[in-house]
């Protein structure tokens, strides 16, 4: 780019007015390229961000629905069983601690219920 400008400056057969016109055309061309490139770059960035956010939103929605399924169970044992089934069906989507935590809580509630009342 700068070599083009130096060629314009050093051209012996051009008048000063012609040199100014060529420089103006050169900068207009740069402006046109930037006017096209900048919105395209913004578009690509926007699409990428939206894809990442949609994936994140989908993962969160899935986890909330799994929690909803488990929490609407009729008993702690049913909740623990549903959680275990969900972990088996979707091992990559739910942590393995999802069902083990419910099993532990269910066992603790069973111990409290079976403990003698004081």
What is residue 116's DSSP assignment?
Answer: P
Contact 75, 109 (CB under 8 A): no
Cα(110)–Cα(76) distance, rounded to whole angstroms? Answer: 9
What local confidence, expressed as pLDDT, does residue 80 receive?
80
Average pLDDT over residues 21-47: 93
Whole-model pTM: value is 0.54
Determine the 3-state secondary structure of 93 from DSSP. Answer: coil
* Residue 1 pLDDT exceeds 60: no
Give percent of the chain above pLDDT 90: 29
What is residue 12's DSSP assignment?
Answer: T
Residue 115 pLDDT class (50, 70, 90 cuts): low
Contact 82, 70 (CB under 8 A): yes
What local confidence, expressed as pLDDT, does residue 33 receive?
94
List CB contacts of 90: < 8 A, sequence separation 6 or more. Answer: 62, 66
What local confidence, expressed as pLDDT, does residue 4 receive?
66
Give percent of the chain above pLDDT 70: 82
* Residue 31 pLDDT exceeds 90: yes
* Residue 26 pLDDT exceeds 70: yes
* Maximum mean pLDDT: which of 3-7, 66-70, 103-107: 66-70
Average pLDDT over residues 104-116: 68
């Amino acid at each position: 780019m700068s070599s083009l400008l130096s060629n314009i400056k050093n051209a012996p057969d051009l008048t000063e007015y012609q040199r100014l016109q060529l420089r103006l055309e050169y900068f207009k061309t740069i402006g046109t390229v930037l006017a096209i490139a900048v919105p395209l770059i913004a578009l690509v960035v926007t699409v990428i961000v939206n894809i990442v956010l949609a994936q994140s939103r989908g993962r969160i929605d899935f986890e909330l629905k799994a929690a909803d399924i488990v929490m609407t169970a009729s008993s702690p044992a049913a909740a623990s069983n549903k959680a275990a089934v969900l972990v088996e069906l979707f091992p990559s989507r739910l942590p393995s601690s999802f069902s083990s935590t419910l099993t532990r809580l269910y066992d603790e509630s069973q111990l409290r219920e079976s403990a003698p009342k004081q």
